[in-house]
Structure 1
Amino acid sequence: MLTVADLLTSAGSFRLGPVDLVVPAGRVLVVLGPSGAGKSMLLDTIAGFRTPRRGTVRLDGQDITRLPADQRRIGVVFQDAALFPHLSVRDNVGFAPALRGRRRSPDVDELLARFGITQLARRAPRSLSGGERQRVALARALAACPAALLLDEPLSALDQPVREELREVLRATLLDLALPAIHVTHDRDEALRLADDLAILDAGTLRQTGPADQLTHQPTDAVTARLLGWTELGPATRDADGLHVGDLPLDPAHLGTAAMPGTVYYRPEEVLIGGPDRHASASLRVRTKVVEVVPTVPLARVLLATTPPLAALVLHRDLPGLAGEVDVTVPGHALRIIEQTTPSPPA
């Protein structure tokens, strides 16, 4: 188990933390946040490349906070792969075993095969594509037999098809490993594909943590909601006519959250366009017109003439049936009212 407790670090005027994280063996924690959130700083501190102002890092119960990086038994994969340019692919992967006197370790051959780079064994890093370099970097990190693995956006610089292919290789590899892993990214799809647990980081502050499915469906923080695909609709207000957002009436009975003052968020892929009885537990029902269809793939984005405006994601085959007025419903589980809060600055 990898445990981070009350970790606080800084660089210039930027402060990260305090951060508390627990990553059990065999689980993948994905830290999701925008650029500049402090994700790489967090990994650098855990890995031992940066000294924290306070807090502890424990691995398998041992306090490793003050240990140098090369004594922490933590494997790290960087965004730029950081391969040794003067070594072949095989020698890069076998670097850690060679330091232990195992130059012909069978583990190296197994890792080359696992990541599909056996045929590249004699190649130099400069001759490899970006995806190939990252496969080598992953294999090299695992060849050191780490007790924990840190991944600093290793897929972000790759073209989309290569990124998606390597994401699946990485997911399968992490499933096979009985060690704690932390992967940081700003890509929501990547986070949801890899994560057992999620931690949302923004401007150095840990906003929300928990199982990935729980955070995806029940965000309690505006930053978390936006990063996980929820769209802001507007402020919820209550008057003599009931609860509403702009001109849209809300049924609090099916909201699934307290109808407190706050901002309404919804999931566009859950907006249903069709008959009024499409969803019995709808919290929002309205009859309106389609303003615009944006032909995105795989789902088209349909903009509706409501106040405030709603958007829906629909199958392209359903677009011909959207002429004239349409009935729109949003189920309660796809609406959240989130109270606006300002996080306290770190002490």
Structure 2
Amino acid sequence: MPPLLEVRNAQLSYDDAPVLRDVSLELAEGEIFAVIGPSGCGKTSLLRVIAGLEQAQSGEVWLDGARIDATPTHRRGIGLMFQELALFPHLDVAANVDFGLRLQGLDATARAERVTEMLQLVGLPEHGARKVHELSGGERQRVALARSLAPRPRLLMLDEPVGALDRALREDLLAELGAILRSQSLTAIYVTHDQEEAFALADRVMVMQAGEVRQVGPPLEIYRAPADAWVARFLGRTNLIPGQVHPPLPSGPPSASPPPRVPSSPPSPSQRDGEGVRGRGRVRVHTPIGDFILPTPLPTDAAPGPITLLLGDERAHIERAADPSPALNTIVAEIVAQSFHGRLLRLSVRTGGHDLSFAVDPPPPGDAWGVGESVRITLDPAAIIMIPDGSS
């Protein structure tokens, strides 16, 4: 099935400053697609090009199999919802929702039915006669969404729609938005600088930086395997250590060398697998803070040499470091700070001149770790990821 939306090699500059650099994307019908990146990366400019509010210097925009570069914005069949909302303060809620329907030339009865349907959909069935200034921030967001959906757009584009709301309300509205979009089988592009919003809502995510596409894929894939060190840092995954890949370990029985130290509590099956077996194609990486064995084979186009290692904290086991001797897939580090984030404890540690951070379950009551203490952190090999050297 051909994509509903296709952007081909879009280029846009303002005063000779590139804003979009050869950006391409495809959206399937019914897909929710998020675009994330820091401020100024080109996210909003991309939406404006798709909507027809900006004209790219080169490239093409296709919708439903037709090229729409020259089609006026109001004829593209695209709904827009921005953070500013742009509700009309002199109109009541129903008239705001009705605005796009009037432009379509529908009769009064059809418009009234659609307005009622949309207000019911967004949970405001009794709010039609209210003025905009009488609404809460969350209610205004719902009215803006109802207005965007009322004309039955082929594509809905949302630019930071919940960015101005407090965290609890933002999370509630985001869940409602996802349910509404999927209940209506809508195709949507959601722009945000907040990767948690994007990951919670989208089927696929595109990461942008400085007008370029850095990575596209399902949220879990992007989180687990960032394309480069910049993407990892943008996602808050800052445990990046330079390393040197050794040739793949051969298959066969373990070597006669002394076995690695066994943690005081039993490691997970994946930890045992990474530490104790020289499986076919397994990779050993030497770093300034210790050696690590990864369970995944070296890519066929890669060769032993310098890489960046991303140390994830999923299923990490932490204990006081009674024994400072090194072990595979293990770090001995000093706690330099700690803070609570929800149910998790974030430990900032230092080892070998490198600062690392791990979000872990807190220790039992009465057995808390303290700043300045040494801890041993045993990592799950599945949470250790190789990133090609040279990424920034």
Q: Relative to 1, partners in 2 of residues 1:283 and 1:216: Cα closer, same or farther, differing over 3 Å?
A: farther
Residue of structure 2 equivalent to 1:199: 206
Of 2, 5, 8 in structure 2, the residue corresponding to residue 2 of structure 1 is 5
Of 340, 344, 361 in structure 2, the residue corresponding to residue 315 of structure 1 is 361
SS, match of residue 144 in structure 1 = coil
Give distance in 1, aligned partners of 2:355 and 2:233: 17
Over the residues paired in the alignment, what is the CA RMSD in angstroms? 2.6
Residue of structure 2 equivalent to 1:219: 226
| Higher deviation after alignment, 152-161 or 227-236 | 227-236
Displacement of 1:178: 2.4
Is the Cα contact below 8 Å between 2:30 and 2:185 reproduced in 1? yes
Please tell me whether residue 267 in structure 1 is matched to residue 267 in structure 2: no
Displacement of 1:283: 6.4
Q: 1:112-131 alignment to 2 at 5 Å?
A: 112-131=119-138
Q: 1:155-166 alignment to 2 at 5 Å?
A: 155-166=162-173
Displacement of 1:185: 0.4
Residue of structure 2 equivalent to 1:243: 285
Give distance in 1, aligned partners of 2:234 and 2:376: 29
Q: Deviations over 1:158-178 (max 9, x none)?
A: 111111111011010121232
Residue of structure 1 equivalent to 2:14: 11
Give distance in 1, aligned partners of 2:51 and 2:328: 47
Please tell me whether residue 76 in structure 1 is matched to residue 121 in structure 2: no
Is the Cα contact below 8 Å between 1:236 and 1:337 reproduced in 2? no
Residue of structure 1 equivalent to 2:158: 151
Is the Cα contact below 8 Å between 2:228 and 2:391 reproduced in 1? no
Is the Cα contact below 8 Å between 1:76 and 1:149 reproduced in 2? yes
Is the Cα contact below 8 Å between 1:272 and 1:312 reproduced in 2? no
Q: Which amino acid aligns with 1:247?
A: I
Of 264, 284, 297 in structure 1, the residue corresponding to residue 342 of structure 2 is 297
Give distance in 2, aligned partners of 1:297 and 1:93: 38
Asked which structure has the greater CA Rg, the reply is 2
| Higher deviation after alignment, 130-139 or 193-202 | 130-139
Displacement of 1:319: 6.7
Give distance in 2, aligned partners of 1:321 and 1:233: 29
SS, match of residue 84 in structure 1 = coil
Q: Relative to 1, partners in 2 of residues 1:321 and 1:52: Cα closer, same or farther, differing over 3 Å?
A: same
Please tell me whether residue 103 in structure 1 is matched to residue 99 in structure 2: no
SS, match of residue 378 in structure 2 = strand
Q: Which amino acid aligns with 1:136?
A: V
Identity of aligned residues (%): 36
Q: Relative to 1, partners in 2 of residues 1:48 and 1:260: Cα closer, same or farther, differing over 3 Å?
A: farther
Q: TM-score, normalised by structure 2?
A: 0.79
Displacement of 1:300: 1.4
Is the Cα contact below 8 Å between 2:19 and 2:41 reproduced in 1? no
Q: Which amino acid aligns with 1:188?
A: Q
Give distance in 2, aligned partners of 1:194 and 1:284: 34
Higher percent of residues as helix = 1
SS, match of residue 54 in structure 2 = coil
| Higher deviation after alignment, 248-257 or 3-12 | 248-257
Is the Cα contact below 8 Å between 2:320 and 2:374 reproduced in 1? no
SS, match of residue 35 in structure 1 = coil
Q: Deviations over 1:47-81 (max 9, x none)?
A: 00000111111111011111110010000101111
Q: Deviations over 1:235-266 (max 9, x none)?
A: 113689x7322222222455876664232222
Q: Relative to 1, partners in 2 of residues 1:103 and 1:332: Cα closer, same or farther, differing over 3 Å?
A: farther
Is the Cα contact below 8 Å between 1:3 and 1:59 reproduced in 2? yes
Give distance in 2, aligned partners of 1:170 and 1:195: 11
Of 189, 193, 200 in structure 2, the residue corresponding to residue 182 of structure 1 is 189
Give distance in 2, aligned partners of 1:64 and 1:21: 15
Return the structure number with greater relative CO, CA threshold 8 A, min gap 6: 1
Residue of structure 2 equivalent to 1:330: 379
SS, match of residue 268 in structure 1 = coil
Give distance in 1, aligned partners of 2:200 and 2:114: 27
Q: Which amino acid aligns with 2:331?
A: V
Displacement of 1:267: 2.5
Is the Cα contact below 8 Å between 1:290 and 1:322 reproduced in 2? no
Q: TM-score, normalised by structure 1?
A: 0.88
Q: Deviations over 1:248-296 (max 9, x none)?
A: 22224558766642322223344332499xxxxx962134454432233
Residue of structure 1 equivalent to 2:281: none
Q: Which amino acid aligns with 2:286?
A: H
Give distance in 2, aligned partners of 1:271 and 1:60: 47
Give distance in 2, aligned partners of 1:255 and 1:191: 30
Q: Which amino acid aligns with 2:194?
A: D
| Higher deviation after alignment, 256-265 or 191-200 | 256-265
Residue of structure 2 equivalent to 1:279: none
Residue of structure 1 equivalent to 2:56: 52
Residue of structure 2 equivalent to 1:90: 94
Gaps of 5+ in 2: 248-283, 322-326
Displacement of 1:110: 1.8
Displacement of 1:304: 2.9
Q: Relative to 1, partners in 2 of residues 1:73 and 1:47: Cα closer, same or farther, differing over 3 Å?
A: same
Give distance in 1, aligned partners of 2:166 and 2:313: 26
